[in-house]
Amino acid sequence: MNSEPTGRDGDLPTPTGLRAVVFDLDGVLVDSSDVTREAFALAYQEVVGAGEPPVEEYSRHAGRSFPDILRMLGLPPELEGPFVREGYRLVHRVRLFDGVTDVLEALRARGIGCAVATGKSGPRARSLLDELGVLSLFDHVVGSDEVAHSKPAPDIVLRALDLLCVRPDEAVMVGDAVTDLASARAAGVRAVAVLWGEEAAQLLLDARPDVALGSPAELLNWLLEATA
């Protein structure tokens, strides 16, 4: 999904004093939607049994931790085990979005700190990034199981900033879900919406991000302006 880059009022503000970038994982760095939907459906069938798995409703809660989503859907916590197992089994089908490695390597070359703040558990996120060969491009990877409150609370973003040793005004949060933007705002961090994830573009734009970008290439150009 591509869109013209836009700020809150149609302009394209350039970040200043940028020292770190905090990324969401799914829908921003990796294309994992088919895998997570399939893993959810298989887990549902194994634990709940009869009936159609509520895959679409599950997908509407992008950015939140899996236990939170189960609670919101009124589903048993026992789904988590099979869901994680199937996610590991299907990991070979997850791909980095085109251009993501260029973004990460460019930030690394300029000494800009990079962290991941994801709804996944920390071990799963680190395992996936290692499988894709980009774990070393991140200073820190923080999972939802490693903070007290997951998105849209600010905890995970604040934890990433603490590990990166930067202030909120020195960082941006890059996400593809309204929950990502809410978490960034609550942490006092500039919120960047990317429009190539699963969340509907209009929902993200209605959330009034500081900037919205249509491709990793646009994100790279925008970030390079701040680090030139």
Mean pLDDT of the chain: 92
- Asked whether residue 146 carries a pLDDT value surpassing 60, the answer given is yes
**121 three-class SS:** coil
One-character DSSP codes across 159-196 = HHHHHHT--GGGEEEEESSHHHHHHHHHTT-EEEEETT
Write the pLDDT tens digit of every residue in 90-105.
999 999 999 999 999 9
Buried b (16+ CB within 10 A) or exposed e, 102-132: ebbeebeeeebbbbbbbbbbbebbbbbbeeb
Q: What is the third-level CATH fold of 6-31+94-227?
A: Rossmann fold (3.40.50)
User: The tokens 């959330």 sit on which residue?
Assistant: 207
CA separation for the pair 175, 217 (Å, rounded): 15
Q: Return the higher-pLDDT residue of 200 and 188.
A: 188
User: Binning pLDDT at 50, 70 and 90, where does residue 17 land?
Assistant: confident
Query: What pLDDT is recorded for position 50?
Result: 82
The encoded tokens of residue 120 equal 């996944």
| Maximum Cα interatomic distance, the chain, rounded to a whole number of Å | 57
Note whether 227 and 107 are within 8 A (CB).
yes
pTM of the complete model: 0.91
User: Binning pLDDT at 50, 70 and 90, where does residue 83 land?
Assistant: very high
What CA–CA distances, in Å, run from 199 to 30, 72, 96, 144, 194? 14, 18, 17, 19, 9
Query: What pLDDT is recorded for position 192?
Result: 97
Q: Return the higher-pLDDT residue of 166 and 14.
A: 166
CA separation for the pair 180, 64 (Å, rounded): 9
Rg of the chain in Å (alpha carbons): 17
User: Binning pLDDT at 50, 70 and 90, where does residue 144 land?
Assistant: very high
- Asked whether residue 173 carries a pLDDT value surpassing 60, the answer given is yes
User: Binning pLDDT at 50, 70 and 90, where does residue 9 land?
Assistant: very low
Query: What pLDDT is recorded for position 12?
Result: 52
Q: Where are the domains of the chain?
A: 6-31+94-227, 33-93
CA separation for the pair 180, 62 (Å, rounded): 9
- Asked whether residue 218 carries a pLDDT value surpassing 60, the answer given is yes
